[in-house]
């Protein structure tokens, strides 16, 4: 921890970590936009988020870094992946442009925005020296965050959690179909239905039992010789064999 | 060895980060070799123990006691054909097992294997590294390990692996919540998230009571002090590692082999490796967080030298092997749960119990710190009122009206399926009657069972 806590000066390890992970993070960001498959896109985003988590740790915020990896990369992106996988792996976006020149315009605006933000951050941060990190992390990073969360920001924190819980409960109420217990059929009720008068409790006769042909269209013959309608699928029309079909075909000798 | 070394045997956070590069390399290689060896021996151990429980020898052909069986299996696996399904997503299919293994092994980096030791003259803790959020690193590694399974299931491009992968990720995410909450109690008691700090906090020498001239030291182990957390941690650890009775992702009766269905050869071996390393890792974490880490268990810890130097490794490995044995024991004993029962256990049982327990623990901690009696009685009274309200307002079950069997029979409509008579008495078996009539024949070749039966029926009738 000692070399992480002294983050006011950039150590060699920090610089090396940055120059390895920063290109990876950028690669992930570009890959996320460029990938055609939605799942690949999500995976590139995971890479970027992992790099960001490590950056937080290097910037003397080990707690927020780990939480970034556990919560965002581990849980939230996983839920994204869930949806993408269930939607189907071939559901990639159509590449036909509906707006003419949209791609060029998007690239130009994106570059402009990146330049604007980059110069803004560079101009405002380049001459300032970071102070107060030692004081903030004096009792340890986790303790420092906890002290702030439960004193100055306790109202904002509680309000956020109330909002999240409301959203989660709301989603559950909307999505979950709750059957009251009185409407649910238990095993005894199912058995009563099965053995009620007029219902045959056994399994239906399969096609081909006592039948003259092995076609599924041939109804099964019950032991008393009658044909069983229950043995053939309902969509198949029943028909008797024509005399030509029943006539000997001359193949037997 | 100077006395100063003994004083500094408990590593603190400031002891880390000073090692020369070659000691770091030795430690990393040690942790990795430990993971691989634990897998090789773990599979053998599991098969032998399950064999013992099922009264059969288990693998005993390759090497002494079949010790090299796993090595032979591994070699065989490496030489098998590596099948790449046509519908597979090639890159992701290749990377999924490696993600699993890397995440499983990474967690071992923050496990304290022992106290300060001397490696080639350097005083260094027997732990690859420690940070102030080491336990969160373990959680992060396990949450990233899910990706291996999910991506493996998805990239195989067929249905069973996809379902297995989704199932397993839902399972692991759910049980990670319970696991994280059970660790919260440890954080609250130890006051730190660093693994070496938690081990040091379980030394337990500060809590003592004297009775009749003897000094009793309260157990420092959080397994006893925070028993509910330990039990919940272990249950969720079984769920987290996809082990029986929670091995739903590879439920072979439903999903063939779950996410591993399409994998073969070395990739399959990597998944196996990750599973066993995970099992060892969660055992090591349970040892560190709840069982006092590398510290000697109670009767041995009276000897002051037990907690020094390389001895720590012995106690650590003994505890880990004990926990792995419990894993195997569970597998040999319990049948697999149904998926909805399993999810209900996680969300409706483990999670609420955990939350209530954390609340109670926080109350106890405040009580210990609080000095004024008014506040103390306020807290205790508040807790009592809450418990009273819950017991009063708890919804009680509706009682079903009691209907006798005869009434039920009378309620049946006309023409129902015929019922046997309600006062049916099973008549004595005709064979038994014959036995009575024949009266023990003199010599009947191979007729022994008949004779036995006839005697018993005689006793029944007479």
- B166/A141 CB distance under 8 A: no
pLDDT digits over B97-156, tens only?
999 899 988 988 888 887 877 777 777 787 888 888 889 999 888 888 888 888 888 888
CB contacts of A46 in chain B (<8 Å) are: 147
Is B144 an interface residue toward A (CB < 8 Å)? yes
pLDDT digits over B300-321, tens only?
766 777 777 777 888 888 889 9
**Which has more confidence, B357 or B220?**
B357
- Look at residue A3 in the predicted model and tell me its pLDDT: 41
CB contacts of B14 in chain A (<8 Å) are: 1-2
Prediction pTM value = 0.73
In Å, what is the CA distance from B416 to each residue of A196, A198, A230, B413? 6, 8, 20, 6
- Look at residue B213 in the predicted model and tell me its pLDDT: 56
Q: Do the Cβ atoms of B287 and B114 come closer than 8 Å?
A: no
- Rounded to the nearest angstrom, the minimum Cα separation between B173 and chain A is 7
- The fraction of chain B above a pLDDT of 90, given in percent, is 8
What does the pLDDT profile of chain A (253 residues) look like in tens digits? Answer: 444 444 456 778 788 888 999 999 999 999 988 888 888 888 899 999 999 999 988 888 888 888 888 888 888 888 888 877 777 655 555 666 677 788 889 889 999 999 999 999 988 888 777 777 777 777 778 888 888 888 899 999 999 999 999 998 998 888 877 777 777 888 888 888 888 887 878 776 665 555 556 666 777 777 777 777 777 777 766 666 777 777 777 776 5
- B166/A66 CB distance under 8 A: no
* Domain residue limits, chain B: 9-203+218-388
Res. B13: pLDDT tops 80: no
Chain B residue closest in CA terms to A54: B137
Q: Do the Cβ atoms of A58 and A14 come closer than 8 Å?
A: yes
pLDDT digits over B40-62, tens only?
888 899 999 999 998 898 888 88
pLDDT digits over B157-211, tens only?
888 888 888 888 888 888 888 888 899 988 888 888 888 888 888 776 555 555 5
**Which has more confidence, A69 or B215?**
A69
Res. B442: pLDDT tops 60: no
pLDDT class of B448 with cuts at 50, 70, 90: very low
- Positive/negative CA dihedral, A41, A160, B187, B180: negative
ipTM attached to this prediction: 0.70
Chain B residue closest in CA terms to A192: B412
Mutate to test the interface with B, among A1, A200, A201 (most CBs of B within 10 A): A1
* Strand residue runs (E) in chain A: 220-221, 227-228
Average per-residue pLDDT for chain B: 80
Res. B8: pLDDT tops 50: no
CB contacts of A73 in chain B (<8 Å) are: 143-144
Q: Do the Cβ atoms of B48 and B325 come closer than 8 Å?
A: no
Mutate to test the interface with A, among B18, B86, B132 (most CBs of A within 10 A): B132
Q: What is the mean pLDDT of residues B411-420?
A: 78
Q: Strand, coil or helix: what is B124?
A: strand
- Look at residue B1 in the predicted model and tell me its pLDDT: 35
pLDDT digits over B333-356, tens only?
888 888 888 888 888 888 999 998
- B143/A141 CB distance under 8 A: no
Backbone angles phi, psi at B410, to 5 degrees: -65, -25
Question: Among A31, A172, A69, which residue's Cα sits nearest to residue B143?
Answer: A69
A and B: number of Cβ contacts within 8 A: 89
Q: Strand, coil or helix: what is B241?
A: coil
Chain A residue closest in CA terms to B87: A89
Is B199 an interface residue toward A (CB < 8 Å)? no
CB contacts of A201 in chain B (<8 Å) are: 417
């Amino acid at each position: 921890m000692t070399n992480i806590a002294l983050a006011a000066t950039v150590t060699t390890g920090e610089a090396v970590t940055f120059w390895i992970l920063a290109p990876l993070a950028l690669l992930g960001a570009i890959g996320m936009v460029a990938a055609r498959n939605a799942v690949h896109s999500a995976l590139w985003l995971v890479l970027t988020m992992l790099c960001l988590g490590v950056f937080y740790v290097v910037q003397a915020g080990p707690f927020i870094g780990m939480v970034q990896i556990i919560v965002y990369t581990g849980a939230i992106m996983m839920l994204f992946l869930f949806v993408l996988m269930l939607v189907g792996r071939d559901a990639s976006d159509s590449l036909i442009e509906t707006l003419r020149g949209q791609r060029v315009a998007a690239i130009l605006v994106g570059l402009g925005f990146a330049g604007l933000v980059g110069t803004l951050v560079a101009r405002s941060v380049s001459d300032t020296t970071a102070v107060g990190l030692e004081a903030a992390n004096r009792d340890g990073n986790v303790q420092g965050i906890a002290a702030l969360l439960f004193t100055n920001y306790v109202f904002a924190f509680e309000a956020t959690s109330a909002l999240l819980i409301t959203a989660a409960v709301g989603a559950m109420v909307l999505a979950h179909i709750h059957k009251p217990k009185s409407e649910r059929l238990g095993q005894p009720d199912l058995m009563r239905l099965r053995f009620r008068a007029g219902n045959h409790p056994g399994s239906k006769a399969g096609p081909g039992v006592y039948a003259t042909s092995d076609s599924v269209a041939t109804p099964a013959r019950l032991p008393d010789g009658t044909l069983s309608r229950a043995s053939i699928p309902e969509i198949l029309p029943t028909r008797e064999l024509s005399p030509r079909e029943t006539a000997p075909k001359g193949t037997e000798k | 060895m100077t006395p100063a070394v003994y004083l500094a045997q408990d590593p603190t956070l400031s002891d880390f980060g000073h090692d020369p590069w070659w000691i770091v390399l030795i430690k990393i290689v040690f942790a990795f070799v430990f993971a691989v060896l634990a897998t090789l021996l773990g599979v053998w151990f599991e098969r032998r123990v399950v064999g013992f429980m099922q009264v059969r020898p288990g693998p005993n052909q390759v090497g002494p006691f079949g010790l090299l069986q796993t090595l032979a299996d591994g070699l065989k696996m490496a030489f098998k054909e590596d099948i790449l399904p046509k519908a597979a997503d090639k890159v992701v299919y290749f990377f999924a097992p490696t993600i699993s293994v890397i995440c499983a092994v990474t967690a071992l980096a923050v496990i304290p294997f022992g106290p300060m030791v001397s490696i080639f003259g350097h005083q260094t803790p027997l732990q690859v590294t420690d940070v102030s959020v080491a336990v969160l690193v373990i959680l992060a590694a396990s949450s990233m390990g899910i990706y291996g399974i999910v991506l493996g299931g998805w990239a195989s491009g067929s249905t069973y692996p996809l379902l297995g992968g989704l199932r397993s990720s839902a399972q692991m995410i759910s049980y990670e919540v319970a696991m994280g909450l059970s660790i919260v109690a440890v954080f609250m008691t130890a006051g730190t998230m660093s693994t070496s700090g938690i081990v040091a906090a379980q030394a337990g020498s500060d809590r003592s009571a004297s009775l009749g001239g003897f000094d009793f030291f309260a157990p420092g182990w959080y397994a006893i002090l925070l028993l509910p957390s330990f039990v919940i941690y272990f249950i969720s650890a079984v769920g987290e590692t996809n082990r029986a009775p929670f091995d739903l992702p590879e439920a072979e009766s439903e999903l063939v082999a779950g996410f591993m269905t399409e994998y073969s050869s070395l990739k399959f071996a990597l998944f196996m490796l990750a599973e066993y390393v995970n099992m060892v890792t969660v055992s090591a974490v349970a040892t560190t967080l709840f069982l006092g880490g590398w510290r000697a268990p109670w009767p041995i810890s009276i000897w002051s030298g037990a907690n020094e130097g390389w001895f720590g490794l012995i106690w650590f490995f003994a505890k880990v092997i004990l926990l792995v044995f419990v894993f195997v024991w569970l597998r040999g004993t319990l049948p697999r749960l149904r998926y909805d029962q399993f999810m209900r256990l996680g969300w409706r049982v483990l999670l609420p119990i955990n939350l209530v327990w954390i609340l109670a623990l926080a109350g106890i901690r405040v009580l210990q710190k609080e000095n004024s009696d008014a506040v103390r009685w306020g807290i205790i009274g508040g807790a009592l009122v809450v418990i009273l309200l819950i017991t009063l307002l708890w919804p009680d079950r509706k009682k079903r009206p009691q209907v006798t069997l005869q009434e039920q029979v009378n309620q049946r409509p006309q023409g129902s399926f015929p019922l046997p008579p309600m006062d049916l008495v099973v008549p004595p078996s005709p064979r038994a009657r014959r036995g009575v009539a024949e009266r023990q024949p003199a010599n009947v070749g191979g007729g022994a069972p008949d004779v036995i039966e006839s005697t018993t029926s005689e006793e029944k009738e007479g």
